[in-house]
Structure 1
Amino acid sequence: ARTGKLIQRRKSERASRKLASVVFNFDRHTPADMRAYSLAQLQALVAQVQREGLSVRRLALIGHADRLNGTGHSDYNQRLSEKRVATVRAALDQLGLKAADVSTSALGDGQQVQPCSGHFKSPAELQECLLPNRRVEVQIWAERAIR
């Protein structure tokens, strides 16, 4: 359950930064492979930016992959995380998010946030456990547009 404001503000700053996490199905990178709630999160983020009249100064997209396929697949996971970043960037473009500066990076399987150890009844259970690792982090720095 994702509730509350998507963009949090500090009282002392006009700028804001938010980290959203877009997750993908195992070994996939296309828009159809984004989890539905991730797409909804992007839509809500863009709607909030537009509704509040924010000007996006900077957009950073950081792609990741899981380690389910084990060691020796770093190059593959690097390319997969790059493709995921491209997918999220295209989705944000289609939703109408404009940013003065866009940076992208892909870290492959180098930064896992969800360790999954133990015994799983099926490969699908393990894949689901590793889902948070198959992500693109979205960071936005925005401020109220001057009118």
Structure 2
Amino acid sequence: MKRSRLKLFKTTSLTISLIGIILILLTLFVMGYVFVSGVTNSVSTTVNSGASYDDLNQLKAEYNNLSQKYTSLNQQLGTTPDANTKTTFNNGKIKLSELNQTLTELESDIDKGTSDQAINNKISQAKEELKEAEGIYNNITASK
């Protein structure tokens, strides 16, 4: 009777040890998987935000260029331009300030890590506002 208990104890003990080793290995595997997927996601996000920063910098350069054109145009128009031209000019300045606000929001969204779709929508919106402001500038300079 004592031998069968001892054998049963050895078998149970060995089984518990094997299960413990398997659980430890499984835990290490899961932790490794979580770590690798986190690093991969981080690298992917960094690459996507890098492209967004490139687009943002290009839009900022175009905004600065157009802003300088508007400043120069304001000086050319002088103090008493045609009322229609002044209204059109003011509309262009408003579009320019809306573009500046959109660029500020876009930079904030990129810094916060907002989704790619939201960032792409903001970039499209900024490009559209830039086209509108350039169109207004071109209309004013064509009518001069």
TM-score tier (shorter): under 0.3
Q: Which has the higher strand share?
A: 1
Higher RCO, 1 vs 2 (CA within 8 Å, ≥6 residues apart) = 1
What TM-score, normalized to structure 1? 0.25
Q: Which has the higher helix share?
A: 2
What TM-score, normalized to structure 2? 0.25
